[in-house]
Amino acid sequence: MNNIVSLKWLLARLYETDIVIVDCRFQLGKPDFGREAYEASHIAGAVYLDLEKDLSAPVDEHGGRHPLPDITDLTIALSKVGISNETRVIAYDDQGGAFASRLWWLLKYLGHEQVFVLDEGFTAWQNAGFPVNAEQKVLVPSRFLATVQHNMLVEMDEVKEKLGSENMTLIDSRDGARYRGEVEPLDKKAGHIPGAINRLWSEAKGEGGRWKSADEQAARFEDLPKDRETIVYCGSGVTACPNVLALQEAGFSNVRLYAGSWSDWISYEENPIEVGEEGNASKA
């Protein structure tokens, strides 16, 4: 399954009328960073969607730090920037593909198939001498109709119910130190969901920040059975998305996102927590 497109692929199709290029740059803790970076310079013709304003709902008691956006609100935001059901969407960022993958996942979740993540990101595009500018594209609204793929998403109750199941693989996409509970810079509790294994999301990328090939992604997950349901989470449901994409590239077909992720899990006081290494974890 090809979910990644190269810089040269996009360059050759830059002005095709059915393509919408979406700048997804964002920086945690700096809410205006992405919009300001976009306004300074972006891939020619790109539009901007913001992780927290467009691709997430407001934070609540539960749902994590980046709750999934309301489907109606999201379809309106997509339609406003010219995305229809027939559009080919190319998402990019400059943060390793994490935020572009969030848009990729959301569009797939809404039933949109023709969505891709741009390999390498904005700086590589700019360094290659490909067209950039600061012009604001005149937005011609389109009409996007969602066909929600509910099987792509899993909620906290279902994750909890399936803990310890031999038919489910649970993947934590965060840095190893956070997974083990040694540090926690963002959330109120440290550790991981019991039984989860650790596969750092950024290991989907190889030399020069390029996405690994399908065979290389398969090698990352070769110890995991493909016939099992695979549930992926991270801190807030964003950096899990590159792992979902990588698992699909590797040939896994039953992959689901726990969108609320760790920040949602710990919002329920009674939920169990583990700390320590895989296979040697203890209850926190």
- What is the full DSSP assignment across 201-241? GGGGB-GGGPBPPHHHHHHHTTTS-TTSEEEEE-SSSSTHH
Residue 233 and residue 64 in contact, taking contact as beta carbons nearer than 8 Å: no
Statement to judge: residues 36 and 163 lie in one domain: no
Last residue of a domain, one of 99, 129, 148: 148
Would the pLDDT of 26 be above 90? Answer: yes
Confidence bin at 207 (pLDDT 50/70/90): confident
What's the mean pLDDT when you consider all of the chain? 96
Query: How many separate domains does the chain show?
Result: 2
**What is the pLDDT at residue 33?**
96
pLDDT at 124 exceeding the cut of 80: yes
pLDDT at position 283 is 80
As annotated, the active-site residues are 234
In Å, how far from its chain's centre is CA 210? 16
- d(CA 38, CA 122) in angstroms, rounded, equals 10
pLDDT, residue 138, reads: 85
CA 247/CA 233 separation, integer angstroms: 13
d(CA 216, CA 64): 31
Q: For the chain, what's the residue count?
A: 284
pLDDT tens digits, one per residue of 89-113:
999 999 999 999 999 999 999 999 9
- Give me 177's structure tokens: 């130190």
pLDDT (mean) for 232-247: 98
Looking at residue 1, its pLDDT comes to 59
Please give the share of the chain, as a percent, with pLDDT higher than 70. Answer: 99
Q: What are phi and psi of 263, to 5 degrees?
A: -65, -25
State residue 278's pLDDT score.
84
**Single-letter amino acid, residue 275:** V
Q: What is the CATH number of the domain that holds 217?
A: 3.40.250.10
**202 & 161 share domain:** yes
Percentage of the chain modeled with pLDDT above 90: 93
Inter-CA distances, 116 with 2, 20, 34, Å:
8, 11, 20
pLDDT of 139 > 90? The answer is no
pLDDT tens string 71-83: 999 999 999 999 9
pLDDT at 191 (0 to 100):
97
Tokens of 196: 């989860």
Residue 267, token pair as written in the block:
């919002």
Where do we find the tokens 């590797």? 250
What percent helix, strand, coil does the chain show, rounded to 5?
A: 30, 15, 55
Is pLDDT at 15 greater than 80 in this prediction?
A: yes
Contact residues for 25 (Cβ-Cβ < 8 A; gap 6+)? 33, 34, 37, 38, 92, 93, 94, 95, 99, 122
pTM, two decimals, is 0.97
Q: Are residues 107 and 180 in the same domain?
A: no
Q: 205 lies in which domain range?
A: 151-283
Token couple for 20: 């919408």
pLDDT, average across residues 132-155: 95
Identify which of 44, 24, 21 has the alpha carbon closest to the alpha carbon of residue 35: 24
- pLDDT reported for residue 137: 82
**Final residue in a domain of this structure, among 92, 119, 148:** 148
Instruction: Judge whether residue 22 has pLDDT over 90.
Output: yes
Contact 236, 261 (CB under 8 A): yes
Boundary residue ending a domain (124, 148, 172):
148
Q: What pLDDT score was predicted for residue 55?
A: 98
Q: Are residues 136 and 258 in the same domain?
A: no
Q: What is the pLDDT of residues 166-202, one digit of tens each?
A: 999 999 999 999 999 999 999 999 999 999 999 999 9
Same domain, 155 and 132: no
Q: Are 167 and 132 found together in one domain?
A: no
**Res 251 pLDDT > 80:** yes
Q: Flag whether pLDDT at 281 surpasses 80.
A: no
